[in-house]
Amino acid sequence: MSERAAVQMLRAPYRGIARVAVLIGLAAFVLPFATVSCGGQKVLTGTGLNAITGGQYTVSGHANTYSGDVSFLLALLGGVIALAILFLPISARARATAAGLAGLWSAAMLLVGQAHLGAELVDGNVGNVVTVRWEPGFWIALAAFVAAAVTMGLELYAVRATPAGPSPGPGFSLPQTISRSLVVTASGVAAAAGSLLIILACALPYVHYTDSSVLPSSLSILNPGFGPSNWFAAEPIGVAVLALMSAVALVVWRMPIVRAVAASVLLAYGVQTFLLFVGYVYLAIKSESAQLGPGGVVGMLAGLLLAASGVAAGVSLIRQQPAPSQEETQPAGAS
């Protein structure tokens, strides 16, 4: 790419476009998200806020309750975080990376919530034909968050393609004290993948009961079959968020202390995540009339990936430390 083209690409109003997209995505939560029908008769139309808080509906004369899904709440929080990042006076590279990841997070959580809502309504209404039609509000929010993430990806590409020089806008950046490392960057990318695998592991069932009297037959961390238990997902979801932040720190910032903290966090949370999902795997193996689901295995792999990323980044940082000078190694009093 020529210098002129790079500069013109950098001047595109990426941040303004992303702000509008995120605002549209957040506003869509007050629009209808889904319509639930039973036997062709509409029984409930809920907004995005109803998808978070839950609601009541009647099927065949029986009152039913939808407890809400934490995934939609996480999608909303991801949008709020993305919007806040877009107003921070930070470097374009850091802003594009963090806001883009937040937008992707929101889009992913909407898709996870979509899958869980359908599964919960079907499992809770055995014997009835329950269908869920997704309304424009859901699709507007999904498209808006994806558009914001793509826009930030374009800004990140433009920043990388621009020749080195003074920043074209106001902001501040952390001092760069060490050179970039391919190992550290690869570790950050692997850690980001591991954090997304944790979300996937929470969405996938970790056990499947063959006994037809057990409902729901497939349990996952995000769909445990009991509404209040959904909030136990706060631990692995929180770990995924912190791991994603650490991955961004490894890729974006060059300060040794920041990278060292990020590598340590990844190692600690990797071990914790691995042990957490070992428990779910053991539960599925030892349970009667049960089959092991993929959720536990995927979670263990995610934990190993985070831990390996932390170790690799830490070792690389140690090797990048400058060797002591001759004066530092010379014994005191030696001439």
pLDDT in tens, 202-221: 888 888 877 766 666 778 88
pLDDT at residue 287 in the model: 78
Residue 227 clears pLDDT 70, i.e. is over it: no
Confidence (pTM): 0.58
Q: What percent of the chain has pLDDT over 90?
A: 23
Q: What percent of the chain has pLDDT over 70?
A: 74
- 68 vs 48: CA distance, rounded Å: 10
Q: What is the pLDDT of residues 255-272, one digit of tens each?
A: 888 888 999 999 999 999
Where do the domains of the chain lie?
A: 1-163, 175-322
pLDDT band at 308 (very low <50, low <70, confident <90, very high): very high
Average pLDDT, integer, range 126-141: 79
List the beta strands (DSSP E) in the chain.
32-38, 41-47, 55-59, 62-66, 130-134, 207-209, 218-219, 290-292
Average pLDDT, integer, range 305-327: 79
Q: Which two tokens stand for residue 234?
A: 């706060």
Q: Quick one: CATH architecture of 1-163?
A: Up-down Bundle (1.20)
pLDDT at residue 173 in the model: 44
Q: Which two tokens stand for residue 49?
A: 């806020």
CATH code at 175-322: 1.20.140.150
| Fold matches, 1-163 and 175-322 | yes
Residue 121 clears pLDDT 80, i.e. is over it: no
pLDDT at residue 120 in the model: 65
Nearest-10 crossing angle of helices 70-86, 136-161:
40
Residue 199 clears pLDDT 80, i.e. is over it: yes
Strands 130-134 and 32-38 turn out to be: antiparallel
Q: What is the strand order of the sheet 207-209 is part of?
A: 218-219, 207-209, 290-292
Average model confidence (pLDDT) across the chain: 79
